[in-house]
Amino acid sequence: MTSQQPPKLELRGITKRFGSLVANDSIDLTVEAGQIHCLLGENGAGKSTLMNVLSGLYRAEEGEILLDGVPQAFAGPGAAMTAGIGMVHQHFMLIPVFSVAENIVLGNEKTSFGGRLDLDAARALVREVSGRFGFDVDPDAIVGELPVGVQQRVEIIKALSRDADILVFDEPTAVLTPQETDELMVIMRQLADAGTAIVFITHKLREVRAVADRITVIRLGSVVGEAQPTATDGELASLMVGRDVQLRVGKQDGQFGDPALVVRDLTVLGSTGPVVDAVSFEVRSGEILAIAGVQGNGQTELTEALLGLRPPVAGSVELDGRELVGRSVREVLDAGVGFVPEDRSHDGLVAEFSVAENLMLDRSHGEPFTRRGGVVRSFLRRFATEKVTEFDVRTPDVDTPVGRLSGGNQQKVVLARELGRELRLLIASQPTRGIDVGSIEFVHKRIVATRDAGTPVVVVSSELDEVAALADRIAVMYRGRIVGIVPGDASREELGILMAGGPADAADGPADVAARRRETSA
């Protein structure tokens, strides 16, 4: 009678500290060969830290790693790779100007007679691995010219070419269209069926339920439970945050008024050409227009141009009939524009300032916050106390430095500041990035309440679930252009086609689709 085979991968009591911060607290994890084990948790829960310990980037203070029942002690990432652990990172570790074959052998080069790089062997390796899994990747293609989804396949081939039998996918869908995400799920299942042990790190519930064999949930550095793929989104979300969560905000049909924000042929130049290319759209009073697309297609530059942070070379931006192009950022804010930036740490808050001081950042130049060059402390304290209560900011007091708050509470401070005055327009860029599910629920409710009060809202988001939850209409950006404007209930498939640069209807061009959709949704 044969004994049971040990797990392919086992983590026992892994503890990793950074000073006084315990990023991983006695974590156990077991992954069998041929299994997709999902590591689910919010941003900052400790998932990536745990995988960096596994891949040899970090050394744990406590615990052990076992492969096929044998304890390991990795001196660095090279040792982990040699042991059969491959990482597929969220941000690809590829050289854009190199070919696929050159990237595959980088750091593991084979030479032919005379010490020359044996590219023929590299090409053969790419074809062998690519053919085994139906990846269809040209070994001579330049990586920087490939679609993002194909670049990710190159990352997978690179790991498999080094005999990885444990693959870690770290938030792999962040830069993918819905179709590319679906293709990745198929690839992961093929790899698992071939015997590869897979650890899939994500915070997206839809993906977990689609592909996972087992689910381990991490919260604040600790394992808080395991779940089956049959668990509901609500059950998984409750494990992630420790309480019941409303995953989709209730939203009534909009009461739309006349166009309040009118953008015409807006063009912004980058170092190599237009990054916003003749963009035009309108947002009506009481409407949420979501701008969707894979991050890096001009969304950041568009929001900066709307706010006056980045001067356009052509086009106009009118709010309530008043031109904003050419005005300073302060003048744009004073015109009633509220702005939630995509990076709150760098652009939305001053970490060393108190909660109260951050709540007056864009209004510190006059009454009622300042008088005769000094801050009116009594008014600021009353205002800050009211907003902390109204927006449920969890802070010891309003004098606490905002940098000490959690990501979700920091985002609530930004919202409280921007929504704590009369607005004519709200621009919210990636409004829930890096915050927990409970805070997402709160942020979505406030955005919808702003729309219901009659204020036009522009939401820029790379999260399709967020776009679907909030949008009355959706404009999709691809390579600096809006390739289509569709109703808020458009399917993921239709949005995915647009996000990849194609028309929503194969018989129509993007302009035709956009025009027809505007007519049907008006």
Q: Are 204 and 212 in contact (CB under 8 A)?
A: no
Same domain, 312 and 191: no
Paired tokens of 111: 């030479």
Same domain, 193 and 279: no
For residue 302, the number of C-alpha atoms closer than 13 Å in the C-beta half-sphere is 34
Estimate the crossing angle of helix 178-193 against helix 148-160, to 10 degrees.
20
Distance in angstroms (rounded) separating the CA atoms of residues 160 and 157: 5
Q: What is the DSSP letter of 6?
A: P
Query: How much helix, strand and coil, in percent to the nearest 5, is found in the chain?
Result: 35, 25, 40
Residue among 355, 339, 347 nearest 405 (CA): 355
Which residue, of 207, 241, 275, is where some domain finishes? 241
- Residue numbers of the domain that contains 312: 249-336+423-522
Residue among 181, 413, 267, 75 nearest 405 (CA): 413
Distance in angstroms (rounded) separating the CA atoms of residues 85 and 70: 14
Same domain, 69 and 168: yes
Distance in angstroms (rounded) separating the CA atoms of residues 281 and 198: 43
Same domain, 53 and 91: yes
Residue 378 lies in a domain: yes
pLDDT at 114: 63
Q: Are 166 and 199 in contact (CB under 8 A)?
A: yes
CA distances from 454 to 91, 337, 422, 447, 457 (A): 39, 14, 11, 11, 9
Distance in angstroms (rounded) separating the CA atoms of residues 85 and 76: 12
Distance in angstroms (rounded) separating the CA atoms of residues 454 and 134: 51
Please give the chain's pLDDT, 522 residues, in tens. 445 789 999 999 999 998 888 989 999 999 999 999 999 887 778 888 898 899 898 999 999 999 999 999 898 888 998 899 988 876 678 899 999 999 988 877 776 666 677 788 889 988 988 888 777 889 999 998 887 778 888 888 888 888 889 999 888 877 677 887 888 888 889 889 999 999 998 878 888 888 999 999 998 899 999 998 888 888 888 888 777 777 677 778 888 999 999 999 999 998 888 999 999 999 999 999 999 988 788 999 999 999 999 999 999 999 999 999 999 999 999 999 999 998 888 889 999 999 999 998 887 777 788 887 788 888 889 999 999 998 888 888 999 999 888 777 888 999 999 988 889 999 999 888 767 677 788 889 999 999 999 999 999 998 888 899 999 999 999 999 999 999 999 988 899 889 888 775 533 433 443 443 344 344
Which residue, of 177, 212, 241, is where some domain finishes? 241
pLDDT at 509: 38
Q: Are 363 and 369 in contact (CB under 8 A)?
A: yes
Paired tokens of 490: 């458009």
Q: What is the DSSP letter of 479?
A: T
For residue 370, the number of C-alpha atoms closer than 13 Å in the C-beta half-sphere is 11
Same domain, 92 and 219: yes
Same domain, 286 and 350: no
Q: Are 471 and 502 in contact (CB under 8 A)?
A: no
Same domain, 375 and 492: no
Residue 506 lies in a domain: yes
Residue 37 lies in a domain: yes
Residue 15 lies in a domain: yes
Order of strands across the sheet with 322-323?
Answer: 273-284, 259-270, 314-319, 322-323
Same domain, 18 and 139: yes
Q: What is the largest CA-CA distance in the chain?
A: 89
Residue 1 lies in a domain: no
Same domain, 428 and 417: no
Residue 3 lies in a domain: no
CATH number at residue 179: 3.40.50.300
Q: For residues 296-322, b (16+ Cβ closer than 10 Å) or e, as one string? A: ebbbbbbbbbbbbbbebeebebbbeee
Same domain, 93 and 117: yes
- Integer Rg of the chain from CA: 25
Same domain, 127 and 224: yes
pTM of the entire structure? 0.72
Residue 356 lies in a domain: yes
CA distances from 486 to 19, 120, 265, 516 (A): 49, 47, 19, 9
Same domain, 135 and 224: yes
Identify the residue whose tokens are 């439970």: 225
Residue 367 lies in a domain: yes
Q: Is 44 left (phi over 0), alpha (psi -120 to 50) or beta?
A: left
Which residue, of 241, 265, 293, is where some domain finishes? 241
Q: What is the DSSP letter of 361?
A: G
Question: In the chain, how many domains are there?
Answer: 3
CA pseudo-torsion sign 363, 367, 371, 376: negative
Residue among 320, 331, 252, 261 nearest 291 (CA): 261
